[in-house]
Amino acid sequence: MYTDLKGKVVAITGASSGLGKSMALRFGKEQAKVVINYFNNEKDANSVKEEVVQAGGEAVVVQGDVTKEDDVRNIVKTAIQEFGTLDVMINNAGRENPVASHEMPLDDWNKVISTNLTGAFLGSREAIKYFVENNIKGNVINMSSVHEMIPWPLFVHYAASKGGIKLMTETLALEYAPKGIRVNNIGPGAINTPINAEKFADPVQKKDVESMIPMGYIGEPEEIASVAVWLASKESSYVTGITLFADGGMTKYPSFQAGRG
C-alpha cells in the first residue's frame, strides 16, 4: 500500500479493459479517486467503476476518444468537476494490428499513431497545462512497451508510436522537472490482456512468446498495475524521464541466454 495515494485523483485512458482496468482497480485499493475513460464499452467501464468502489476508492466514468482534443480536455475537466483536481494522468489507451509494412494502408498507420502517440501527447499536454496553471507537482505516466526499443516487423506503426513515446516522455520530463512535474513510461513486455487474447489462445503462439521471456511466463495485468502505483506515489519522488520495463527480462536479449553468442 502507498498511503499517499489515498484521495489522489487519477485519470486513466482506455480503462474499461486490460491494463487500464487493472490499474483502476489497484488505485481503488489504494483508496484513490479514479476517472475511468472508455472508448466504446460503457458496460465494462461501469463494472470497473463498481469494482473500484468496492475496493475502497471512488470512481467516475467518462467516454472519450483520445485522438480528439476536446474529448481529452473533457477527461481532465471531469476529474476537476467530480473530484476537485487532477494529480495523476495515465495515458494508457492503445491499439495495434499486424500488416506487412509495404502493404500497410495509411489509415492503419494513422489510427495507431493517433491513438498511441498523439493520444498520449494530448493527455500529457492537458494534464501538464492544468498542473502548471495550478502549481501542482503532478504526475504523468505513459504506457509505452518493450517495442519502444525492440523493432517489431508487421507492427511498424506500433513500434514507431512507442519509440515516439520514449522521446516524448524524456522531453516532457526535462521540460517540466523544474516545476516538480514528473513524467515516466511503463514498458510492459507480453501481458495477458485482450490485446493479446487471440495470440495467447493459440498454444503454439503462446509457447513461442514465452520462449522470448527469460522469466518464462506471460505477465499478468496486476504486475503492471503495481509498477503504476509505485510511479504515481511519492516512493518514486526522484524518478522522472524513465521507462520502467516490466517484461520478465524480454528487453535483455534472451537469445544470449546460457552463454550463447
Residue 184 as a binder of ligand NAI (CB under 6 A): the answer is no
Residue 195 as a binder of ligand NAI (CB under 6 A): the answer is yes
* Distance (Å, whole) CA 33 – CA 128: 19
158 is catalytic: yes
Site size for ligand NAI (CB under 6 A): 26
* Distance (Å, whole) CA 48 – CA 62: 12
| Residue appearing with cell numbers 495467447 | 200
Going residue by residue from 49 to 68, which x/- string records binding to ligand NAI, judged by CB under 6 A?
----------------xxx-
Among 9, 12, 20, 160, binds ligand NAI (CB under 6 A): 20
Residue 238 vs residues 2, 182, 226: alpha-carbon distances, Å: 16, 9, 18
List the grid coordinates of 57. Answer: 476508492
Among 12, 143, 181, 229, binds ligand NAI (CB under 6 A): 143
* Distance (Å, whole) CA 157 – CA 153: 10
Residue 27 as a binder of ligand NAI (CB under 6 A): the answer is no
Stretch that binds ligand NAI, among 15-23, 175-183, 204-212, 248-256 (CB under 6 A): 15-23
Going residue by residue from 154 to 183, which x/- string records binding to ligand NAI, judged by CB under 6 A?
------------------------------
Angle formed by the axes of helices 221-232 and 18-29, nearest 10°: 50
Among 78, 115, 124, 185, binds ligand NAI (CB under 6 A): 115
Stretch that binds ligand NAI, among 91-99, 101-109, 128-136, 169-177 (CB under 6 A): 91-99
* Distance (Å, whole) CA 171 – CA 201: 38
> Position 41: which residue type?
N
Smallest distance from ligand NAI to CB 136, Å: 24
* Distance (Å, whole) CA 1 – CA 233: 10
Among 81, 194, 205, 215, binds ligand NAI (CB under 6 A): 194
Smallest distance from ligand NAI to CB 50, Å: 17
* H helix runs in the chain, sequence order: 18-29, 42-55, 69-83, 106-112, 119-133, 156-176, 197-201, 203-210, 221-232
The bridge status of strand 243-246 relative to strand 33-38 is unpaired
Smallest distance from ligand NAI to CB 158, Å: 7
What distance separates the 2 farthest-apart alpha carbons in the chain? 57
Residue 213 vs residues 9, 35, 151, 208, 249: alpha-carbon distances, Å: 35, 33, 16, 9, 6
- Cβ count within 10 A of residue 201: 9
Given the residues 158, 217, 238, 253, the one annotated as active site: 158
Among 11, 12, 19, 173, binds ligand NAI (CB under 6 A): 19
Residue 13 as a binder of ligand NAI (CB under 6 A): the answer is yes
Q: Which residues are catalytic?
A: 158
Residues that bind ligand NAI (CB under 6 A): 13-14, 16-20, 39, 65-67, 92-95, 115-116, 143, 145, 188, 190-191, 193-196
